[in-house]
Amino acid sequence: MKTMIPLTVFVTSFLVGLPSFAQEMPPGNMIVNTACSINDGYAFTDAVEAGRSLSYDGDNGPNLVFYRQPIATADTPSTFALRVVYWDNLEHWARGSGGLGNRFTAANLNEIMTCNNTNRSFFINRNVGQGGDAYAGGENAQSLSAARFCQVKSGNTLEDVYAALVAIQQPYLDQGNTTLMQLSHRFLNPAEGDEMGTNIIIRLIGETPEGLAARLDMSPKVVGLPDDAPVMNCQDQSLWATHVIWWGI
């Protein structure tokens, strides 16, 4: 049985400047999220099968592609699907598909799934710490993912948030849980009323579905945030089934 992470570790780990966990924030890569809908007469599994049948390994193809299906999300229709595509950066995306729409589609996939390609969200994505092993490095075709939306609190930087997350992540890794933590910072697709550059997603992706579930079991169920947290307006986590469509790294 996994040992419960003490509540004090969770709370104090939001405090920045913990020298034992100090780690420079990496440059990261880029994620493009697109909201999609499964069309009438089809199932999510049909979209996964069709997506995996496509070829992504041509010149300037994406690094990773996932389809995610909601399990516990707010006001999300049962037909919803999230297409998640990893690129090196915005230039890589522009070379690969940005200037040509989405060339990694096929007629049968378009019949199965309709995607809102005019309302994509672009994130700079960074893995938090070292030791996370989502999907067992591509060996597992599916897993679970949990995501929490927050905003960077005024007076804090993205580096402050990253340092706090490293401090949160490390005790779990030390106890043998290999769930990957990511910090995704949205930089394209404005949200009305939100201050520029403040929107982030804190994401967990399991090596296996059981691994992610164990990580959530280990996490203390706290109310609110400590005063010194570098984030604000954090929501409860959403839960997703996540399926590997393409693993090109």
Delineate the domains of the chain, giving CATH numbers in brackets: 7-247 (3.30.70)
Asked if 34 and 83 touch (Cβ cutoff 8 Å), the reply is yes
Fill in the amino acid letter for 50.
Answer: A
Q: Tell me the C-alpha distance between 33 and 211, whole Å.
A: 24
Position 7 confidence tier, pLDDT thresholds 50, 70, 90: very low
The alpha carbon of 248 is separated from its chain's Cα centroid by a whole number of angstroms, namely 17
Position 179 confidence tier, pLDDT thresholds 50, 70, 90: very high
Q: Which is higher by pLDDT, 130 or 12? A: 130
* Listed range (168-172, 193-197, 229-233, 235-239) with the worst mean pLDDT: 193-197
Q: Which is higher by pLDDT, 45 or 191? A: 45
* Listed range (133-142, 186-195, 206-215) with the worst mean pLDDT: 186-195
Asked if 64 and 125 touch (Cβ cutoff 8 Å), the reply is no
Residues 6 or more apart whose CB falls under 8 angstroms from that of 174 comprise none
pTM: 0.90
Residue pLDDT, tens place only, 80-110: 999 999 999 999 999 987 544 555 566 689 9
| Residue 22: per-residue pLDDT | 56
Q: Tell me the C-alpha distance between 246 and 65, whole Å.
A: 5
% helix, strand, coil for the chain, step of 5: 25, 30, 45
